């Protein structure tokens, strides 16, 4: 009897178990890194003055949220540079009420829920870098991870719209320049510059 050369190839059990072990090790390393980073940020925050504590909180908490979501990250300054030098597309993944209150000038609105349910709008370009942001980093991390799986180069802004405000980027609404920002129920408002009005999550349609 002649054996066929087209027999299906089965994954060896040892190879499968190695992949599972590697995935677990990577997850463990990510958790370990996040905790170490949290301890360092806490120690430095205690030793620093208020202004430095605020700076550290914006970066540290934003980075924490993005790491937890699995998305690529970029700092506010790097995001601004990508917009001007690489013609990056800016996408706000917060809810419509938050976007209506204030958003990065020139940003397009695409709430995370809509992105996950309907995908990337067919009329939007896919060959440009994409910068996504939310309030502090969690939703933008999820959005960046989702877009990367779709083959789109995307990064979430560490610290979100709060970091953009601290970087003096113009925020606007339908009436033009604004200094009002939705900051969610966790009182992120203390991280904003003194010139900004922090609005907590009582806005209609608001989701942090």
SS3 letters across 16-65: HHHHHHHHHHHHHHHHHHHHHHHHHHHHHHHHCCHHHHHHHHHHHHHHHH
Q: Which residues lie closer than 8 Å to 192 by C-beta, 6 or more apart?
A: 162, 165, 166, 181, 183, 198
Cα separation, 117 vs 120, whole angstroms: 9
pLDDT digits (tens, 9 = 90+) for 157-167: 998 999 999 99
Question: 67's torsion region: left (phi>0), alpha (psi -120 to 50) or beta?
Answer: alpha
Find the distance separating the first CA and the last CA of the chain, reported in whole Å. 66
72 touches 156 (CB < 8 A): yes
Using CA of residue 186, residue 76, residue 177, residue 110, what is the dihedral sign? negative
Residue located via tokens 């690489």: 86
Cα separation, 160 vs 192, whole angstroms: 11
55 touches 124 (CB < 8 A): no
Query: What pLDDT, on the 0 to 100 scale, is given for residue 208?
Result: 42
Question: For the whole model, what pTM was predicted?
Answer: 0.70
Domains and CATH numbers, the chain: 48-199 (3.40.250.10)
115 touches 168 (CB < 8 A): no
Query: What pLDDT, on the 0 to 100 scale, is given for residue 204?
Result: 46
Question: Which residues of the chain register pLDDT less than 70?
Answer: 1-16, 44-54, 56-59, 64-68, 201-208
Q: What angle do CA 36, 161, 68 make, to 5 degrees?
A: 30
């Amino acid at each position: 009897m002649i054996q066929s050369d087209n027999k299906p190839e089965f994954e060896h059990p040892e190879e499968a178990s190695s992949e599972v072990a590697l995935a677990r090790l990577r997850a463990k390393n990510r958790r370990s890194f996040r905790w170490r980073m949290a301890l360092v940020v806490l120690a430095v925050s205690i030793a620093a003055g208020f202004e430095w504590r605020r700076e550290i909180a914006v970066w540290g908490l934003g980075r924490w949220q993005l790491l937890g979501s699995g998305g690529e990250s970029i700092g506010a300054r790097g995001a601004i540079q990508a917009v001007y030098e690489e013609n990056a597309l800016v996408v706000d993944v917060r809810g419509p009420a938050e976007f209506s209150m204030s958003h990065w000038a020139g940003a397009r609105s695409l709430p995370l829920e809509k992105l996950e349910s309907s995908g990337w709008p067919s009329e939007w370009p896919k060959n440009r870098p994409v910068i996504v942001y939310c309030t502090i980093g969690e939703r933008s991390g999820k959005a960046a991870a989702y877009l990367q799986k779709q083959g789109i180069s995307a990064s979430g802004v560490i610290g979100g719209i709060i970091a953009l405000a601290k970087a003096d980027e113009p925020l606007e609404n339908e009436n033009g320049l604004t200094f009002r920002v939705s900051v969610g129920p966790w009182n992120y408002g203390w991280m904003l510059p003194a010139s900004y009005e922090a609005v907590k999550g009582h806005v209609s349609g608001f989701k942090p």
